[in-house]
Amino acid sequence: MHARVPLDVDLEDRLVFGLTPMRLGYVVLCGLGSLATWTSQWSVAPVRGSAAVSIIAIGASAAWGRWKGRAADAWLTDLAAYLLNVHELRRSR
């Protein structure tokens, strides 16, 4: 019996708006964080509003942002790994 392997087995699943589960989590968590920032009473409304919009922008750029064909979260992960390795090199000298 011959069987054919599907070609898209290694592709990530897309749930909503073309987002993978991890990137959808970025949108949901930043949306909840921005809602919590807006509804809290720690400052006046314009300051809370600008903070909430900033949180939404961070979530949107983490979910949909791409630069040179790579996702924004991959760039941030690589930057964090680089900074940790450089710090380890400086400490070991």
Q: Please give the model's pTM, rounded to 2 decimal places.
A: 0.69
pLDDT at 15: 78
pLDDT in tens, 46-90: 999 999 999 999 999 888 888 888 888 889 899 999 988 887 666
* Helix/strand/coil for 39: helix
Assess contact for 20 and 12: CB atoms under 8 A: yes
Structure tokens at 61: 């750029």
Best CA proximity match to 28, nearest among 80, 63, 1: 63
Question: How far is CA 86 from its chain centroid?
Answer: 24
